[in-house]
Each structure stands twice: as structure tokens, then as C-alpha cells.
Amino acid sequence: MALPTITLAPGTGLAERPFTAPRHADEDLAVLARLHASLVEHADRGGSDGRWVDQVGTEHWLVVPDWDQLRSAVPAAGVGFFGQALAVDHEPISAIETAMLGQLERYPGLLAYYNVRYPWDQWGNLVLFRDRAAIDRLNHEGLHRTAVERSPLHYESLRLHRVSLPTGGLGAAPPQLDETILFDFRDETAWIAVRPG
């Protein structure tokens, strides 16, 4: 991942880059809290994952390699991804995602992957890890790097939230924002900013 271009003050955005508005981060965190609550609900029902479509047409994809490891991870770390998609064929990046989730043994410390695709073609996901070191290892993995490099072909902009779960992956506390990394791909050179939580 390239280094951020600028640092924004907490709670601020740029009018010329509307996706940076703090209200979007608040909305994203509300979605992450719902995904986390759904994950806890699945665990309470005995641990199940898979794919389904809900009553409003949102597509869900939940993968948990080991429910016992997820239960024991206290605290846990996570990443929330929200992409503003371009009107293009997303099959290439979806194929990379499928390949990654078919080889989860390559990602030690990855506890849960929960992806949603909304009917208006916006994606969001919550990926939980045992700790920050596991996230850092993923950033250097080949398939993940390929997905990152393809991002400008699929998204106009991205919000990547680094979150903490102090009571664990299945604890009562929802994800808490540590910082947000913002990507704008509209120009030839990507604009990247970081905003502390």
C-alpha cells in the first residue's frame, strides 16, 4: 500500500472529495457494528457461515476458518472496507477474493471474513484478525497485493477503517475506530489520506 498523501484531523473531510465526509465513516461504523452483531448471532447459533441474500437484497458472505479461535481472540483487531464501485465488470476482483478465501491457511491469524454487497452496488466488509501483526502479514501476501493493485479498476474511492475489538471477535463491544485510510482513484495518481479515529 502506498503511503498517505496527507493527514486529516479527526472528524474532518474535504468538500472536494465527498466520500471523505465524517458522516460516511459514522455510517460505515454502524454497518460494521451490524456485521459484528450478525457474526455474534451466528456464533450463538452454534457457528455457521456461508452465503445468503437478505430481505432487502443485500448479498452476504461469511467465512470463519475456526470458530473456537474466533471465540478465544480477546482482544481482536479488524479492518472495515467500503468501496464506491465503478460501473465495470467486477468478476476479476471477485475471482481473487474467492481464491483467497479458498486458501485461508495462507493467512495465519485471520479469524473471520464478512463481506456484503448492497443492491446499489456498494461493497462493505469486516475482516477480523487475532492482532495487528496478522493484518500486516496479509498486506504482503501475493493475492491480496493483486487485489490492492486492481482496486483503481473497480472503485472510484475507498474507505479503509482500522478497528479494534477490545472484548474480542465475539465480545459485546462493537468495533471501535482507530483510524481511516481514504483512497481517491479519480486522478492519474491515487490520492491517499489517513485520518485518526
Q: Tell me whether residue 22 is in a domain.
A: yes
- Structural domain that includes position 187: 6-10+18-196
pLDDT at 187: 86
Task: Write the CATH number for 25.
Answer: 3.30.70.100
Q: Could you report the per-residue pLDDT of 93-115, keeping only the tens digit for each?
A: 778 777 777 877 778 899 999 99
Q: Could you report the per-residue pLDDT of 58-67, keeping only the tens digit for each?
A: 999 999 999 9
Q: Which residue has the cell 471501535?
A: 176
Q: How many domains does the chain have?
A: 1
Q: Could you report the per-residue pLDDT of 127-169, keeping only the tens digit for each?
A: 999 999 998 887 777 666 767 777 888 889 999 999 999 999 9
Q: Tell me whether residue 1 is in a domain.
A: no
pLDDT at position 1 over 80: no
pLDDT at position 79 over 70: yes
pTM over 0.85, yes/no: yes
CA distances from 32 to 19, 37, 162 (A): 17, 8, 11
Pairing of strands 176-184, 155-165: antiparallel
The average confidence (pLDDT) of the chain is: 89
pLDDT at position 5 over 70: yes
**Residue 7 to residue 17: CA distance in whole angstroms:** 14
pLDDT at 142: 64
**Residue 132 to residue 194: CA distance in whole angstroms:** 17
pLDDT at position 2 over 90: no
With 0-12 / 13-18 / 19 or more C-beta atoms within 10 angstroms meaning exposed / middle / buried, residue 123 is: buried
* Better pLDDT: 105 or 175: 175
Q: Tell me whether residue 117 is in a domain.
A: yes
